[in-house]
Amino acid sequence: MHNPQLNKHGELQHLLSIDGLPKSIVNHILDTASSFVSIGDRELKKVPLMRGKSVFNLFFENSTRTRTTFEIASKRLSADVINLNIAASSASKGESLLDTIDNLAAMHADMFVVRHATSGAPHLIAKHLNDTKQHHVHVVNAGDGRHSHPTQGLLDMYTIRHYKKDFSNLTVAIIGDVLHSRVARSDIHALTTLGVPEVRVIGPRTLLPGGLEQMGVRVFNNMNEGLKGVDVIIMLRLQNERMNGALLPSAQEYFKNYGLTPERLALAKPDAIVMHPGPMNRGVEIDSAVADGPQSVILSQVTFGIAVRMAVMSIVAGTSGE
Q: What is the 3-state secondary structure (H, E, C) of the chain?
A: CCCCCECCCCCECCECCCCCCCHHHHHHHHHHHHHHHHHHHCCCCCCCCCCCCEEEEEECCCCCHHHHHHHHHHHHCCCEEEEECHHHCHHHHCCCHHHHHHHHHCCCCCEEEEEECCCCHHHHHHHHHHHCCCCCCEEEEEEECCCECHHHHHHHHHHHHHHHCCCCCCEEEEECCCCCCHHHHHHHHHHHHCCCCEEEEECCHHHCCCCCHHHCCEEECCHHHHHCCCCEEEECCCCHHHCCCCCCCCHHHHHHHHCECHHHHCCCCCCCEEECCCCCCECCCECHHHHCCCCECHHHHHHHHHHHHHHHHHHHHCCCCC
The fold for domain 23-148+305-317 equals Rossmann fold (3.40.50)
Question: Residues of 89-117 as b/e, b for ≥16 C-beta within 10 angstroms?
Answer: eebeeeeebeebbeebbeeebbbbbbbbe
State yes or no: 93 annotated in a binding site. Answer: yes
Query: Which residues make up the CATH 3.40.50.1370 domain(s) of the chain?
Result: 23-148+305-317, 150-302
State yes or no: 66 annotated in a binding site. Answer: yes
pTM of the model: 0.94
State yes or no: 237 annotated in a binding site. Answer: yes
pLDDT of residue 146: 87
**Can you tell me the mean pLDDT for 48-64?**
92
pLDDT of residue 311: 98
pLDDT of residue 251: 82
State yes or no: 182 annotated in a binding site. Answer: yes
Least confident of 3-12, 60-69, 296-305: 60-69
Average pLDDT of the chain to the nearest whole number: 92
Q: 150-302 is classed in which CATH architecture?
A: 3-Layer(aba) Sandwich (3.40)
pLDDT of residue 97: 87
Q: Note the pLDDT tens digit of each residue in 129-151.
A: 999 988 899 999 999 988 999 99
**Can you tell me the mean pLDDT for 220-243?**
89
pLDDT at 248 over 80: no
State yes or no: 279 annotated in a binding site. Answer: yes
State yes or no: 282 annotated in a binding site. Answer: no
pLDDT of residue 175: 97
Q: What phi, psi does 74 have (nearest 5°)?
A: -60, -45
Give me the count of residues in the chain: 322
> Using omega within 30 degrees of 0 as the cis cutoff, is the peptide bond preceding 279 cis?
yes
